[in-house]
Structure 1
Amino acid sequence: MPSLHTVFHGRDGLLAAVFERYGPVVDVEALAQDPPQRFDDAVRGLYRAVVTAFRSRPRALPAIVADILARPDGPGARLMEAAMPRMLEGVGSLLAPEIEAGRVRPLPTPVAIQLLLGPRRCT
């Protein structure tokens, strides 16, 4: 264990490496770099990235979320603070063309993410 902590610069570094590998950040960034033609497909890709991160083994993302809920000032929260700008940038770049075309309201990215993840009313 001490050698792992040395390689990853402590427990937080090790957690960051696990989150990088098993979290949704890399998939969201890849989706933003090569976005689908249709916005619906981009949204599905975002959902897929998050769901895959929650379902993949080891169950790193659920453990990090549990840590955040149990200890809001713990390593999980610090890890999310470090990863969140990358997630916001990726989602923001997916939303930008839709905002420019007038199909999506120009909202702050965190609010837009909440609306994307929240329940929708079917018409």
Structure 2
Amino acid sequence: MDFTANIVLGSGSLIGRFLPLTSATQIGQNKRLHPPTFSPLQEERFRNLQQRLEVPFDGSRVEHQDALKQLWRLAYPNRELPSLKSKLWKDMGWQGEDPSTDFRGGGFISLENLIFFAKKYPVCSLALKS
């Protein structure tokens, strides 16, 4: 399978840092990079990531609502959870009273990443709220 069509590789790209490239071949003065060779596990993980990237945020889905609530509890463990549309969400930095509108471009995975960040680096997430 060819998974390279939509990947930007290079030392500066995140994917480029984690996926090994086969050796560069000298052709005259030009170097040509061969596409990465994925192990079966890497192929499975890459397909899973591609599928997750395609999931839009949907404020009507209970799973997505629960994730927003989880993010609130991580950010404000001692504050009461507001309704999913409230001026209090602006305290967290959302553009408006409905945080779900801020996930239009990033999809559900962007909320999952914020939850991961708040769990993994709680001190940093506290600094973001100030």
TM-score interval (norm. to shorter): under 0.3
In terms of fraction of residues, the more helix-rich structure is: 1
**TM-score, reference length from structure 1:** 0.24
Which has the larger Rg?
Answer: 2
**TM-score, reference length from structure 2:** 0.23
In terms of fraction of residues, the more strand-rich structure is: 2
